């Protein structure tokens, strides 16, 4: 028997299903599309993201969770080549403007250098970094709108 066959196979790593931003991202159990959670003030109706403790407009403390648009426009984008610990470079950060007049700071999923300002992007769920065991932590990201899919 060759030496390499004596080694026990390493157990396959299970994906980390702990989401980094549970207050911000909803992935419905029924398989429908994930969405970002907006927080709508019950007193004045102001919509905010991410979650705030008090309304920025009226200081109200009660919020209704609403689903935000899955599509937006890329306001700004930066390719990152020297990253933080646990983050495999290169990666892409950007700001996405949603129709609700909310600007989302997020990672973008796609090729380095492939994004341009004002392009249409849509919500997706992907790996944003690795945890200490080297397993992926998933959260919201945005990607280029898949034109060919005709969505």
Q: Which residues bind Zn ion (CB under 5 A)?
A: 41, 43-44, 46, 55, 57-58, 60
Instruction: Count how many residues are written for the chain.
Output: 151
Query: Which pairing describes strands 120-130 and 136-144: parallel, antiparallel, or unpaired?
Result: antiparallel
Beta bridge partners of 105: 95
| Rounded least distance, CB 98 to Zn ion, Å | 19
* Of residues 52 and 73, the one with the C-beta less far from Zn ion: 52
User: In terms of CB distance, is 43 or 119 closer to Zn ion?
Assistant: 43
Instruction: Between 61 and 111, name the residue whose CB sits nearer to Zn ion.
Output: 61
| Distance in Å, CB of 54 to Zn ion, minimum | 8
Q: How far apart are CA 58 and CA 96, in angstroms?
A: 25
The answer to whether residues 59 and 48 touch, using CB atoms and an 8 Å cutoff, is no
Report, in Å, the least distance between residue 50 CB and Zn ion: 16
Q: Which two tokens stand for residue 108?
A: 């973008």
* Count of other CB atoms within 10 angstroms of residue 128: 20
Q: Minimum CB separation from Zn ion for residue 38, in Å? A: 13
Decide whether 47 or 137 has the Cβ nearer to Zn ion: 47
């Amino acid at each position: 028997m060759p030496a390499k066959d004596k080694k026990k196979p390493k157990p396959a790593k299970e994906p980390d299903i702990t989401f980094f931003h549970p207050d911000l991202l909803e992935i419905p159990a029924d398989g429908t599309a994930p969405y970002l959670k907006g927080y709508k003030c019950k007193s004045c109706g102001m919509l905010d993201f991410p979650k705030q403790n008090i309304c920025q407009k009226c200081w109200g403390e009660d919020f209704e969770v609403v689903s935000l648009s899955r599509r937006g426009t890329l306001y700004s984008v930066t390719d990152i080549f020297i990253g933080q610990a646990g983050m495999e470079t290169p990666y892409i950060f950007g700001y996405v403007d949603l129709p609700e007049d909310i600007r989302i700071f997020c990672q973008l999923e796609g090729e380095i250098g492939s994004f341009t300002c004002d392009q249409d992007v849509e919500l997706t769920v992907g790996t944003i970094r690795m945890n200490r065991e080297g397993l992926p932590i998933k959260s919201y990201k945005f990607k280029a709108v898949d034109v060919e899919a005709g969505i």
